Structure 1
């Protein structure tokens, strides 16, 4: 544990800040109480893994803390700490989720578990119990590594076979295999390290023995089995060697690149998912004051190697390299300061931007089209979609619309859908869920939500990327259509009334646009026609969104600089639900009717308010000889207000003033929308019955309004015309 305490003696010596491996803590009373580290995203992760659930979860071991499991998405719109679990006490080392059972997690736990060096835990989420399945569970603290039966490094490898999910490998100075969940182990290699006794004595030398297990040397740093060939296993060490076996461990060959520097920490062996003979190796020598990057590739099963550092910056040490699962030659490298990528198999490298802070990246995983990074100081980061890197050319010169990945029709919790504050600080997305965020205003009318003590959810909707080689000379437009080519909704960069996030970008470069999968919003109540006695402190509520599209095939069209491109994509249902196509259609049909009726209601209220304003103006222009006309106008106002008072709550003063008066029919329609959409399920019988009843009442009030317009307003207009007074408009029905 690294701790630094700063005290202020000039102003108040009782105020101190303490920095540790988990973050920073503050005291105002001389250390009697301290603030928590759980309000900051500063975890130091070593190695990570992902499972196959939906949403998938990310796992890691973290310095001076427990191992942790975090969902990649949450129904709360953010990722709160309460959704995390703690699968074991793994502080150090690798972590591996059972690919056939995500409730079972294996993690290295040197320094935080019995069995000391080589501590391996098997955690069961169902029972919340840890079973120690170490190769040799002997207490070794205080022992020199030369006196141990087996040596295991602080971050010793743990990995499952990609061919046989019952087979588990771990790496010490030997490679070990278990086929019974760690109940027994078989040694399948000789000592693969240099096994130099000079580097296996007491840490700290003869004066200061400090043998906690973190200092063990001459061990495996990476073990990986080939997904292409049975029996082929690669292993690298922390003292500069690479070995391979092609007969399941019966015989191993030294396959170390000739240019590998002496005593390099070879932390990653990555087998190409596209070519069985292609293997990548990442190494570093920063512990020996050598900060140069080392990356190697073989295309002939390790017979020969070449450096693929390319134009990597000098002084940028590399810890991990990953090959994309879809595009050959697309590589990602985790370094001491961030993530780099290459589109040409390592000839050229570029730093990835996108908001990732400057931080050591200890591990990377590719999950579908997501790139997951485990950092040593800034927790987990996920690049939500690497699809553009899979489709764009390195020298892309033309406009390019990237095919969106399959989009899950994700569902947020009702609280988030209806009550998440759009301004200022919000201390929770729902009742009892602690997760603070802040909405800040940026230049150009933009806003951004900052995540203060929680994780950020991936975008809810279809992510559309497009590339513009030059600044667009005209508007850029995105149009979304269904499988029958019927337009659902369109967005244009020149729409002056649209929020910033719904305007496609026009500058040269790569653009990301997120469609929330919604149809057009219903017609809204015109705020310019509302009469308010004062400006409320509470912000105005948002108008309801339109209904979400059902799972199926869709298209998106890009129009930019006279060019038009169209690509298709799929929207799929949440794999955890069993809702059928018919049930989705039934839900959508009822929602269309409810939203349509809400539009008609709002338009009717707008007509009423406009007519009331005109009548008020007419009454001001009538002279004393037109008292009868004034009385008729006032009577008409009363009848209009009677209809308005049924359609909406006319006594409501603010968006939060919901409990003083009975709801209007619009409130009931909106609440029914929430009733129907709260789950991906067919509407209940009673929801259908109530919907029909409320929509019928709305029709009745609109029928009264139409009758007034046809009879009373027309009659009053005739009388006003006779009196040479400007006529009333009837509004659009």
Structure 2
């Protein structure tokens, strides 16, 4: 519902969905965190008042781009007021096009003086993603928590305060607790396999990025030997990457032109299984089993390539006095600057 601000009949504001947590702070800008725990005390998700580091970096980058655009327009003789209007139009139509496509950051915990509210959407952590990933009819959201007892731990300046709460089953649902638990376990398995697929893509891209960097630095006397070893490794990893993810996707409509790959097929299964409160069907389980077997084959190929071809590459790098290649699932743009 709306608030009637745009005209018409005024209406009340809908409450936030999920578990709404209310807390009062004596002073603003304190470091506040919220941990959500299951009935056994195991951590489900954590949220903080601190700004996400990637968001902070993107904000600095956006400010730099705005400044550079404004300076460019001024040097071209554009008046100051026209520069502002042009920049405003650019921001309105950018749609995030200046930076990579990423999953949205986690919500920040408010820390103003007085009463604060934070709503947990009841979801477990999302699957791993990578920059500019495009999926068709597939998502990476974590599964919704099942009905039961949970607790929230509030930390203010390091001091913890814990409160339990109950998540109730929708009274309209005909699913049993067993059905919902079976569905949750299945969705969690899908999420984990989606993460494995996406982490494999990130690892492959990390190795390929490091290979490109070392190619620029390898001494001329060792370029031929390094190129042979590097090409062998890169070719095998690229072949695996193309099986796990549709690398030709550049826009949201590209999956209409290029067939989806393993990570998309597995992620799409989550939407099917979560479409209603019910235990997963035998057909859904069989599809998951088949896709998991295909993914295992590709993951084995990645493991084999890094176990057999990578040592040869690193021998050449050690001989040249260069840093060895270390496979990682941290994306280059998200890594801490060195």
Same structural fold, with TM-score higher than 0.5 when normalized by the shorter chain? yes
Matches of 1:590 and 1:566 in 2, distance apart? 30
**Counterpart of 1:658?**
255
Distance 1:477 1:574 in 2: 29
Confirm whether residue 556 of structure 1 aligns to residue 152 of structure 2.
yes
Which of the pair has the greater relative contact order for Cα pairs under 8 Å at 6+ separation? 2
- Max Rg structure: 1
Taking a change above 3 Å as real, the CA distance of residues 380 and 642 of structure 1, as seen in their structure-2 partners, is same
Give me the TM-score of the superposition, normalised by structure 2: 0.74
Q: Partners of 1:526 and 1:383 in 2: how far apart?
A: 35
Summarize the alignment of residues 254-269 of structure 1 with structure 2, pairs less than 5 Å apart: none
From 147, 163, 166, the counterpart of 1:567: 163
Aligned counterpart for 1:592 among listed residues 188, 200, 210: 188
- Answer 1 or 2: which has greater strand percent: 1
Specify the alignment match of 1:496 in structure 2.
Answer: 52
Determine if the alignment matches structure 1 residue 480 to structure 2 residue 77. no
- Against the structure 1 CA distance between its residues 501 and 380, is the aligned structure 2 distance closer, same or farther, given a 3 Å change threshold? farther
Match in the other structure for 2:121: 516
- Go from structure 1 to structure 2 and tell me whether the alpha carbon gap of 1:500 and 1:620 turns closer, same or farther (over 3 Å shift): closer
Does the CA-based 8 Å contact 2:139-2:270 persist in structure 1? no
Aligned 1:272-671 pairs, distance under 5 A: 378-379=8-9, 381-382=11-12, 384=14, 458-472=15-29, 474-497=30-53, 502-527=107-132, 544-622=140-218, 623=220, 626-671=223-268
In structure 2, C-alpha distance between the alignment counterparts of 1:732 and 1:626, rounded to whole Å = 27
If each structure's helix is expressed as a fraction of its own residues, which one has the higher value? 2
Paired residue secondary structure (1:714): helix
- State the 1:606 CA deviation: 0.8
Alpha carbons of structure 1 residues 506 and 542: separation in structure 2 relative to 1, 3 Å: farther
Name the CA distance, whole Å, in 2 between partners of 1:556 and 1:542: 30
Q: What do residues 507-557 of structure 1 show as CA deviations (whole Å, max 9, x unaligned)?
A: 112112111101111221145xx8xxxxxxx9xx99622111111111112
State the alpha-carbon separation in 2 of the partners of residues 380 and 589 from structure 1.
43
Relative to structure 1, the CA distance from residue 577 to residue 640 in structure 2 (aligned partners, 3 Å threshold; closer, same or farther) is same
Given that 1:475 and 1:506 are in contact with CA atoms closer than 8 Å, whether structure 2 keeps it comes out as: yes
Deviation at 1:625, TM superposition (A): 5.2
SS in 2 for 1:570: strand
The CA distance in 1 between the partners of 2:17 and 2:118, in whole Å, is 11
Deviation at 1:675, TM superposition (A): 0.9
Contact kept? 1:476, 1:504, Cα under 8 Å: yes
Which residue does the alignment assign to 1:722?
319
Q: Determine the C-alpha separation between the residues in 2 that align with 1:465 and 1:552.
A: 20
Secondary structure class of the residue paired with 1:478: strand
Provide, for residues 632-652 of structure 1, a one-character-per-residue CA deviation record: whole Å limited to 9, x for no partner: 212221111100000100111
1:696 to 1:591, Cα distance in 2 relative to 1, 3 A = same
Q: Runs of 5+ in structure 1 lacking a partner?
A: 1-77, 80-354, 358-376, 385-457, 531-537
- Contact 1:648 / 1:663 at 8 angstroms: preserved in 2? yes
Q: Distance in 2 between matches of 1:590 and 1:606?
A: 24
| Distance change in 2, residues 1:582/1:717 (3 Å) | same
Residue 380 (structure 1) shift: 5.3
Aligned equivalents of 1:543, 1:691: Cα separation in 2: 15
Q: 8 Å contact 1:554–1:568 — kept in the other structure?
A: yes
Q: How far did residue 656 of structure 1 move?
A: 2.7
Q: How many residues align?
A: 279
Task: Find the aligned partners of 1:356 and 1:465 in 2 and give their Cα distance.
Answer: 26
Find the aligned partners of 2:255 and 2:39 in 1 and give their Cα distance: 41
Native 8 Å contact 2:49 2:108 kept in 1: yes
The separation in 1 between residues aligned to 2:28 and 2:203, in whole angstroms, is 43
- Say if 2:246 is the partner of 1:690: no
- Which segments of 5 or more consecutive residues in structure 2 lack a partner in the other structure? 56-103, 331-338
Question: Separation in 1 of the partners of 2:111 and 2:138?
Answer: 27
Residues 139 and 271 of structure 2 are in contact (CA less than 8 Å); yes or no, is this contact kept in structure 1? no
Q: Deviations over 1:661-682 (max 9, x none)?
A: 1111111011011111111111
Give, in angstroms, the shift of residue 624 of structure 1: 5.7
Contact conserved, 2:139 with 2:268, CA < 8 A, in 1?
no
Taking structure 1 as the reference length, the TM-score comes to 0.36
Q: 1:383 to 1:612 in 2, by over 3 A?
A: closer
**1:706 matched residue in structure 2:** 303
1:611/1:563 Cα in 2 relative to 1: closer, same or farther (>3 Å)?
closer
Instruction: Measure how far apart 1:726 and its partner are.
Output: 3.5
> 8 Å contact 1:713–1:730 — kept in the other structure?
no
Residue aligning to 1:444: none
